[in-house]
């Protein structure tokens, strides 16, 4: 149950599991509906657009370097991807992000480091959808 003080963190975990294990139709449904719900959670827990974009662009940089590397081997990028979890912990300790966005970043990290290049790219599509919806549901700070 979601409240302003305690967002539905189970929803975020479930969204990642559903997106990663689903077929294209299920992934499209998650991108259309659940990504927007996640963005609303971030807006309600005090996460700013700046913080969402900061984390997205750091991961987008990794994705672009992965493409340029022209290899299917994700291993050399894993330490950088894994740092997402550490950055989330740092930002929540400084009250720069809320608990829902911290959970999102940690779930993203868990899925990405246990996957391959293709899975990382799919996860980035999910994150991109959340960024898009955040423009509507999250305030600037």
Judge contact between 9 and 99, C-beta under 8 A. Answer: yes
Question: Burial level of 73, CB count in 10 A (0-12/13-18/19+)?
Answer: exposed
Here the tokens at position 21 are: 């294990």
Here the tokens at position 140 are: 């600037």
Residues of the chain above pLDDT 90, percent: 87
Q: Is 40 helix (H, G, I), strand (E, B) or coil?
A: helix
Q: Is 30 helix (H, G, I), strand (E, B) or coil?
A: helix
Write out the chain's pLDDT in tens, 141 residues. 444 557 789 999 999 999 998 899 999 999 999 999 999 999 999 999 999 999 999 999 999 999 999 888 899 999 999 999 999 999 999 999 999 999 999 999 999 999 999 999 999 999 999 999 999 999 886
pTM: 0.92
């Amino acid at each position: 149950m979601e409240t302003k003080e305690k967002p539905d963190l189970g929803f975020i975990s479930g969204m990642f599991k559903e997106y990663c294990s689903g077929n294209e139709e299920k992934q499209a449904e998650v991108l259309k509906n659940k990504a927007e719900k996640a963005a609303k959670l971030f807006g309600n827990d005090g996460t700013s657009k700046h913080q969402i974009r900061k984390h997205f662009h750091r991961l987008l940089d990794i994705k672009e370097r992965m493409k340029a590397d022209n290899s299917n081997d994700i291993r050399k990028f894993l330490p950088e991807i894994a740092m997402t979890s550490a950055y989330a912990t740092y930002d929540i300790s400084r009250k720069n992000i809320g608990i829902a966005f911290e959970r999102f970043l940690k779930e993203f990290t868990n899925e990405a480091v246990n996957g391959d290049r293709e899975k990382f790219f799919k996860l980035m599509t999910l994150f991109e959808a959340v960024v898009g919806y955040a423009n509507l549901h999250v305030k600037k700070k």
